[in-house]
Amino acid sequence: MSAAPETGTIYGVGLGPGDLELLSVKADRLVRGAKHVAFFRKAGREGQSRRIAAPLLGDGVIEFAMEYPVTTEIPLSDPRYNEILSAFYADCAAHLQALAQGGEDVVVLCEGDPFFYGSFMHMYTRLKDVVPVEVVPAITGMSGAWTATGAPITWGDDILTVLMGTLPEATLTEQMASSDAIVVMKIGRNIDKVRNALRAAGKFDAAWLIEYATMPNQTVQKLSDAGDKVTPYFSIIVVHGQGRRP
Name the β-bridge partners of 191: none
C-alpha distances (whole Å) from 116 to each of 41, 111, 123, 140, 150 are: 17, 9, 13, 8, 23
User: Residue 80 has what pLDDT?
Assistant: 84
User: Residue 208 has what pLDDT?
Assistant: 98
Segment 16-26, tens digit of pLDDT = 999 999 999 99
User: Residue 73 has what pLDDT?
Assistant: 53
**pTM as predicted:** 0.91
Average pLDDT, the chain: 93
Q: What CATH architecture does domain 142-239 belong to?
A: 2-Layer Sandwich (3.30)
Q: Say which residues have a Cβ less than 8 Å from residue 171's Cβ, sequence separation at least 6.
A: none
| Per-residue DSSP letter, 35 | S
User: Residue 74 has what pLDDT?
Assistant: 60
User: Residue 209 has what pLDDT?
Assistant: 96
Sequential DSSP letters for 148-202:
HTTS-S--TTPPEEEEETTS-HHHHHHHHHT-SEEEEES-GGGHHHHHHHHHHTT
Segment 190-245, tens digit of pLDDT = 999 999 999 999 999 999 999 999 999 999 999 999 988 777 777 999 999 999 88
Which residue positions in the chain have pLDDT lower than 50? Answer: none
User: Residue 232 has what pLDDT?
Assistant: 76
Considering all CA atoms of the chain, what is the largest pairwise distance in Å, rounded to the nearest integer? 72
The runs of H, that is alpha helices, within the chain are 25-32, 48-53, 79-101, 120-127, 141-148, 169-177, 191-200
The residue extents of the domains of the chain are 10-139, 142-239
User: Residue 89 has what pLDDT?
Assistant: 96
Q: Say which residues have a Cβ less than 8 Å from residue 139's Cβ, sequence separation at least 6.
A: 14, 16, 17, 22, 112, 113
Question: Quick one: 10-139 is in which CATH superfamily?
Answer: Tetrapyrrole methylase, N-terminal domain (3.40.1010.10)
User: Residue 41 has what pLDDT?
Assistant: 94
User: Residue 77 has what pLDDT?
Assistant: 67
Question: Cβ(36)–Cβ(62) under 8 Å?
Answer: yes
**CA gap 39, 46 in Å, rounded:** 10
User: Residue 81 has what pLDDT?
Assistant: 80
